[in-house]
Amino acid sequence: MSAELLEYLARGLVDEPDAVRVERFERDDGVVLLRLHVAPDDVGKVIGRQGRLVRSLRTVVRAASTRTRERVAVEIAESE
């Protein structure tokens, strides 16, 4: 659910919504890593000024993941 939420929110922020995808990884420490891929021109739009937007995305996704009792980390990756 967290991955779908992150993808939905990111698609609303970028100019190329078709380039948005989320990969989900389970780390050894039990944290679920969500890697958000966006087009190179949209990286700045997802990060926002001084990182405020990505911080907000992380907060919303983390809050949504409390229902499933998962610990979630979000990272931004640039798609080729």
Please count the structural domains in the chain: 1
Write down the pTM of the prediction. 0.88
| Residues 63, 41: Cα–Cα separation, whole Å | 28
In which residue are the tokens 């970028």 written? 14
Domain that holds residue 62: 2-78
CATH of the domain at 35: 3.30.300.20
1-59 pLDDT, tens per residue? 888 999 999 999 999 999 999 999 998 888 999 999 999 999 999 999 999 999 999 99
Q: Is 45 in contact with 78 (CB distance < 8 Å)?
A: no
Q: Which of 51, 49, 43, 50 is nearest to 76 (CA)?
A: 43
